[in-house]
Amino acid sequence: MSQQHYATAPASTSAKAQRSDWWRDAVIYQVYPRSFADSNGDGMGDLEGVRTRLPYLRDLGVDAVWLSPFYASPQADAGYDVADYRAVDPMFGNLLDADALIRDARALGLRTIVDLVPNHSSDQHEWFKRAVAEGPGSPLRDRYHFRPGKGANGELPPNDWESIFGGPAWTRVADGEWYLHLFAPEQPDFNWDHPAVGDEFRSILRFWLDMGVDGFRIDVAHGLVKAEGLPDLGSHDQVKLLGNDVMPFFDQDGVHEIYRQWRLILDEYSGERIFVAEAWTPTIERTANYVRPDELHQAFNFQYLSTAWDAEELREVIDRTLEAMRPVGAPATWVLSNHDVTRHATRFANPPGLGTQIRTAGDRELGLRRARAATLLMLALPGSAYIYQGEELGLPDVVDLADEVRQDPAYFRGAGQDGFRDGCRVPIPWTREGSSYGFGAGGSWLPQPSEWAELSVEAQTGDPDSTLELYRTALAVRRAQPDLGAGDAVEWLRAPEGVLAFRRGEFVCVANTGRESVTIPAYGRLLLASAEVAEVDGEAKLPADTTVWWTTA
């Protein structure tokens, strides 16, 4: 007989969900505000749009919402160039809108995490504008990294560092000095050796904590401290070294003292507020340094995100992650997609790497099938998980955007990152019809493909075979199952080549990453599967690229 691949969704509340250390097994949903929902029809998402869609997130079953930057900004890098950390950019609304969003989220049982960008500011930040205007010797220049150039007339950059977006990491100002920017020239790096920088960010933390946020996702958490003397790296292909080696501008040990100071502030507030680190490090073991008991709470597991859909590779990174986090008592934090990488429904269609090109409808189907299976695997692992908006709809990257609509600064610099981040930032579809499929009344800032009508929330709601209903059911089952969520270990089970199988108490997860169906024991009552599974006489035929959940209870 054929077994339906959805069990009846259990109630969405449980004793486990009421634990105080909510962040250890939280499912956190990333909202990219400009692409989530547009309330005023200007083609750009905003905070009021997010607020109106909060019930959707509650019903999806997530625990918290992480908002990408909405601060006052010239938008040279989609808001990651902040001009005022205590103001909302008018394109997103105002501080009253932020306050209403936080309050409404709390009333719905959702926590709110906001982005914090401490590595760099906008070049339109008052500090930087004054530093440039006052010229060499200005004390304000010490809050950034201004240096004289090399060469007979200072015409060469102070060192050989390269921007993550391509090209030199230095820009020269009219008076001849150079300033450091590890990202776009509009994003000058702060000098965290200067006490005023630390004072300012401790004040910014308190401002938003007093507003009621439940935590902060720290952008470029690994980048704040630079090696003394800003030494040359000695390489001219530096982007390929990112995440593979300790570099003089990333993952310096001095960042940890900053976070110890920040943790003291967070602990002044009730309600278990948290820090989440975006920390690209050479190893999972170095990532664990950021989540020691007196520092941050979570750190994104980019090694897991970068792993291919391959059983052997996945098992290795899962084991290494759990082993690295266990000594520091932190939860593993799993993630498959975000606003900076190719969506996994596209990535898994191209097994050799992180490419963005999907060639055929068959590729799209393969990518989605693997993405669904990968999601159930991720949600079964011990710890916390992050969902990027639209992945619950099975959205792929949009790879055929015209040059004139793109806004990713890395795309125009022509080196560094691949420059295709716009493809994962296209506004999500809510309805089958309309100028932007329900995103807003005035179109969308990036064009949406016509086929997204059938990927919309409206089209998928109530369809038991849809990816949206898979996510809704998976999150409900995860919340109800006592053996899912927090923890630091899995019990691996024997399985055929290409298959991952593990037990957590009375829960069993099996994922077939291979290209052929396999026959395995039926481990109990089927809870959920990413594709149809047939069970006969105590055995289950598990198709390729499929994950299944059982309970032995």
Question: Residue 106: in which H helix or E strand, if any?
Answer: helix 95-107
**Cα separation, 118 vs 512, whole angstroms:** 41
Nearest to 385 by CA among 372, 376, 394: 376
143: its two tokens: 């809050």
What the block records as the tokens of 450 is 């016509």
CB-CB neighbours of 81 under 10 Å: 27
Catalytic residue, chosen from 268, 312, 316, 465, is: 268
* Lookup: tokens for 520: 């395995």
Q: Choosing from 97, 219, 295, 397, which is the catalytic residue?
A: 219
Which tokens hold the place of 496?
């055929």
| Torsion of the alpha carbons at 133, 138, 139 and 145, rounded to the nearest 10 | 80
Q: What ranges in 331-466 are assigned the alpha helix state H? A: 344-347, 361-380, 409-413, 457-460
- 268 catalytic residue (yes or no): yes
How many residues are given for the chain? 553
Helix, strand, or coil here: 342?
A: coil
Residue 323 to residue 327: CA distance in whole angstroms: 7
Helix residue ranges per DSSP H, 250-326: 255-266, 284-288, 302-305, 311-325
Closest CA to 204 of 321, 300, 114, 309: 114
Query: Concatenated DSSP letters for 3-59?
Result: EPSBPPP--S--TGGG-S-GGGS-EEEEE-GGGT--SSSSSS--HHHHHHTHHHHHH
Residue ranges with strand state E in 70-169: 71-72, 84-88, 111-116, 146-147
**Distance separating alpha carbons of residues 4 and 553, to the nearest angstrom:** 19
SS3 for 528?
A: strand
d(CA 549, CA 7): 10
Supply φ then ψ for residue 358, to 5 degrees: -105, 125
CA 116 to chain centre: 13
Q: In the block, which residue shows the tokens 């990036």?
A: 446
Handedness of CA 251, 253, 257, 263 (dihedral sign): positive
Across-strand partners of 112? 65
- Say which DSSP state 407 is in: -
Do 65 and 388 meet the contact criterion of CB atoms below 8 Å apart? no
Residues with catalytic function: 219, 268
